Amino acid sequence: MFVREYYKSVRDLLETVYVREFDKIQTAGRMLAEVMEQDGLIHVFGCGHSHMIAEEMFYRAGGLVAIDPIFEESTMLHDGAYKSSQIERMSGYAPKVLERYPLEKGDVLIISSSSGINPFPIEMAECARKKGVKVIGITSGNYKDKPSRDRRGLHLEDVCDLYIDNYVPHGDAVVEIEDGGVKAGPVSSIAAFFIANSMTLAACEHMRARGEQPPVYKSGNVDGGDGYNEDIVKKYICRIKHL
């Protein structure tokens, strides 16, 4: 059954990420904790469906308040899905996007790109690092032997300070639905969200171990949630563009 096969594939993928990338996720959590302790921001970016990691981490119950999502509409599906794929493959666009966001030395930028072969996310990482920003890349090692669209042959993992493997298979989907290799059931978003929220939890754990309160949103649908969030967001409201 297709659904059962998909469930098993997702379960096995998350187990692989948990076991093999646990130490890196803990390192990422420490990086995020240090940024927040220094009053910095955590920027998040992805193209196409990968942009959803920025939405997942931003302004949500249980999420870090210090998240600054980079919402570049030209790389998002609602502004033209086909166009977004073409722009992700363009070189020279990333610096123009970063000019509109407050990246500062000491901040962290999280970039999600399962293939890691397209110029836009690669150049985003490079531009950020030139500003003194640490870059955490979430990408799949299963694409490492695939040709890059970057003119220098680079992959995202080559230009990051920390690379977390999401182990997504080549082509993303995992359930073959007909002969000829046609598959359904993509897993990249599930893997990215698991890694994102695991990094959040690791950051909270590091801060709690040092006796600090992690700046985390409460749900606006529980008693006292709105008031709590209004207080905790004050120091960020003028610094995060999309708040």
Tell me: the pLDDT tens digits for 89-113? 888 889 999 999 989 999 999 999 9
Q: 191-221: per-residue pLDDT in tens?
A: 999 999 999 999 999 999 999 999 999 999 9
Exposure string of 20-52, with b = 16+ CB inside 10 Å and e = fewer, is ebeebbbbbbbbbbbbbeeebbbbbbbbbbbbb
Ranges of beta strands (E only) in 140-235 are 162-165, 173-178, 182-186
Query: What domains lie within the chain, and their CATH numbers?
Result: 2-232 (3.40.50.10490)
Q: pTM value? A: 0.96
Q: Is the pLDDT of residue 37 over 90?
A: yes
Q: Is the pLDDT of residue 187 over 90?
A: yes
The pLDDT assigned to 15 comes to 99
For residue 112 the two structure tokens come to 């999600």
Q: Is the pLDDT of residue 227 over 90?
A: yes
> In terms of Cα–Cα distance, which of 85, 97, 70 is closest to 149?
85
Measure the CA–CA gap between 158 and 199, rounded to whole angstroms.
Answer: 21
Q: Is the pLDDT of residue 74 over 90?
A: no
Within 8 A by CB and 6+ apart from 217, the residues are 59, 60, 61, 62, 63, 64, 65, 229, 232, 233
